[in-house]
Amino acid sequence: MMDKSRRTFIVTTAGLAATTLFTPAIAQGKKKLHFGVGPLLPNAEDTKKAYTPVFAHLAKELGVDFDLVATTDWAGMAVAMGSNQLDIAWMGPWGYIIANAQTGCQAVATVKYDGKPVYHGIIIARPDLQVSKFPDDTKGKTISFADVGSTTGWLIPSYYAKEVWKIDPKTYWKYTDGATHGANEIAVSSGQVDMATDFDRNRNAMIASGKIKEDSNKIIWTSAPLPNDAIALPKSAPKELGAQVQKILTAITDEQAKTLLPPRYTGFVAANHSSYEMIEKAGIALGKIKPKA
C-alpha cells in the first residue's frame, strides 16, 4: 500500500493552471480555493468528472477560481487536510473524524442521498455463497476490507466485529485490506474473493454505470444508518467562509442536484461535528483515535 506521504492527487483546474503544491486560500480576499474529494468512484478520473460540477457551482457562488483534487484513498483526505493542501474537502465520515482528530477541521454540511443524509455499510458475497446466518456461516472464507481510512470499508465492519460479532476479522476470515470500494465489488463479482466490504451508494452507482451486474454479487449484511459524507473546512478557516459554504450547499434544490451532483444525490443538510458522533465513538472503541478531553 502506498505510503500516505506519497499519495497521488489528480488535479483539475477552473480558470487557472493546475499546480502540484497548494497554499490554502483561507484568508479573506483570496481569489482561488483548493477543493478535495475522496475516492467516491472506482478511479480518481471518474470521481473528478462526477464531482466537478458541484465544486464549480460552489466556487462560482463564492466568486473564486478553484482547483479540485481527487485522492486515491480515503485516508489521503486526512493527510491533505492536515498538510494544509485543502481549503474545503468532501470527506468520508471516518476520514473526516480522522482529520478532525489530527487537525481540528470542522464539518459544515452533510450530503443527502435519495433525500436522506444517511447511507449504509454492506458486506457483499459471491452469489453462490450460502449464508443463512452472518457471520457464523462465513468463517474461514476470504474477505477483502477496504482502505483503513474508509468508514464502511474498514471502520464500521471492524467495529461490528469487535463489539457485536465478538470476532477478530483477521483470524476469523482469510483477511486482506487496502482495496478501493470499486476493486472490492469487482473482486467479488469476478470470484477473486468470497466477500468484501462496501457501501450501498457505491454498489448502486457501479450497477447503474454497468461496471458490475446486480446479480454478480449479493448483499449478506447491512449496517445501521450512518451519517453521509461531510463537507469540511480547516480549523483556521474564517467562520464566515464556513457559513457561506453551508448556505450555498444547503440551498441546492432537488432539481439543481440533478445536474450538479451524481445520480441519487439530492443536496445537502447543515452539519457540525456532533453529526458524526457515532463515527467518532467507533474510532475510539477501536483505539484508532483518542477521546477528547
At residue 78, what is the residue type?
A
Q: Per the structure, how many domains does the chain have?
A: 2
Cell (9 digits) for 167 = 470476532
Same domain, 166 and 270: no
Residue ranges making up the domain that contains 160: 121-222
Q: Are 145 and 179 in contact (CB under 8 A)?
A: yes
Q: Which residues contact 76 (CB under 8 A, 6 or more apart)?
A: 4, 7, 9, 38, 149
Same domain, 96 and 182: no
Instruction: Report the distance separating Cα 215 and Cα 163, nearest Å.
Output: 31
pTM for the predicted model, two decimal places: 0.83
Same domain, 11 and 29: yes
- Domain-located, residue 292: no
Q: CATH number of the domain that 58 lies in?
A: 3.40.190.10
Of 171, 198, 222, the domain-final residue: 222
At residue 62, what is the residue type?
L
Element (H, E) at 246: helix 239-250
Contacts of residues 17-20 at CB distance under 8 Å and 24 or more positions apart, as own/partner, are: 18/67, 19/67
What is the C-alpha end-to-end distance of the chain, expressed in Å?
33
Picking from 282, 129, 269, 107, the residue whose alpha carbon sits closest to that of residue 194 is 129
Pairing of strands 226-227, 118-119: antiparallel
Same domain, 178 and 146: yes
pLDDT in tens, the chain (293 residues): 444 333 334 344 333 333 333 334 444 566 899 999 988 877 889 899 999 999 999 999 999 999 999 988 777 777 788 777 899 999 999 989 999 998 899 999 999 999 999 999 999 999 999 999 999 999 999 999 998 989 999 999 999 999 999 999 999 999 999 998 999 999 999 999 999 999 999 999 999 999 999 999 999 999 999 999 999 999 989 999 999 999 999 999 999 999 999 999 999 999 999 999 999 999 999 999 999 87
